[in-house]
């Protein structure tokens, strides 16, 4: 096993004449929480979409566990152990917790054309998924549309963990949450780390970044310009890196 679960070398992403990524070099350490920060347009979302299989980079290489890979789709990313929890969480409000956990992976019984959902097996599996993230209070038969933001996050995270992800990417995980719900999500991320799962966070919240992350990467104008140990920097230091003030000094 290599020290870094993901290594990115010279990654470029062009949209016509627009260069969203300009030769990104980045390493994501195994079993740690890594934050990626940057202003709007810095390339954070584009980079994550390359790792998630939504975009295929124009140039450059992504390696996982030391092996070069081609991530050609979200299914391909999942095959390589990468799951992404987006701001909208990709959950369906009219489905139950168990149904959301098994979305696109439903267990069926019977024979075609009389196949039905095996709800009993799905409930057992759903309970195991929720237990992995330490949440056993959510009722699996309840529709997710009636749940709080923190509970919805727990379901989305449980789904990612339950299907064997070794890397989970969070896009602004607490952006629309209150203080209590944000604390719940922070606890879930800490629990993932304790299980050896690598976590990547995209966030504008420097307090959150410095509290949760082990390593912070700073992006500016399509490049990864610096990395810092979170324990060794302040919010002011990160602002200086983002704005280029540190380089100017």
| Lowest mean pLDDT across 7-16, 25-34, 204-213 | 204-213
The overall average pLDDT reported for the chain is 87
* Phi and psi angles of residue 65, each rounded to the nearest 5 degrees, phi first: 55, 35
Helix axes 149-162, 179-194, angle to 10 degrees: 20
> How far is 166 from 180, CA to CA, in rounded Å?
27
Global pTM reads 0.84
- Listed in sequence order, the residues at least 6 apart from 183 whose beta carbon sits closer than 8 Å to its beta carbon are none
- Would the pLDDT of 112 be above 70? yes
Give the residue carrying structure tokens 């509970």. Answer: 151
- Would the pLDDT of 7 be above 90? yes
Tell me the mean pLDDT in the region 57-68: 96
167 close to 122: Cβ distance less than 8 angstroms: no
pLDDT in tens, 159-215: 888 777 899 998 887 776 778 778 888 888 888 899 899 999 998 888 889 999 999
Which residues, listed in sequence order, are joined to residue 233 by a DSSP beta bridge?
Answer: none
- Would the pLDDT of 247 be above 60? no
């Amino acid at each position: 096993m290599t020290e870094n679960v993901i290594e990115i070398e010279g990654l470029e992403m062009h949209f016509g004449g627009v260069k969203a990524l300009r030769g990104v070099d980045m390493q994501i350490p195994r079993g740690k929480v890594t934050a990626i920060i940057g202003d709007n347009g810095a390339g954070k979302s584009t980079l994550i979409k390359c790792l998630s299989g939504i975009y295929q980079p124009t140039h450059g290489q992504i390696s996982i566990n030391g092996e070069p890979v081609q991530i050609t789709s979200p299914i391909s990313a999942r095959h390589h152990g990468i799951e992404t929890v987006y701001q909208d969480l990709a959950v369906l409000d009219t489905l139950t917790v168990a149904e959301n956990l098994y979305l696109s992976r439903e267990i069926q019984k019977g024979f075609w054309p009389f196949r039905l959902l095996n709800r009993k097996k799905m409930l057992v599996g759903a309970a195991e998924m929720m237990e992995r993230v330490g949440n056993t209070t959510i009722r699996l038969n309840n529709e997710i549309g009636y749940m709080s933001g923190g509970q919805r996050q727990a379901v989305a995270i449980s789904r990612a963990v339950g299907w064997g992800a070794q890397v989970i990417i969070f896009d602004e995980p607490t952006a629309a949450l209150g203080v209590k719900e944000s604390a719940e999500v922070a606890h879930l991320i800490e629990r993932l780390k304790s299980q050896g799962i690598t976590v990547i966070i995209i966030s504008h919240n420097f307090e959150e970044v410095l509290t949760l992350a082990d390593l912070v990467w700073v992006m500016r104008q399509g490049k990864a310009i610096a990395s810092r140990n979170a324990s060794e920097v302040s919010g002011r230091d990160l602002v200086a890196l983002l704005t280029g003030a540190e380089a100017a000094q």
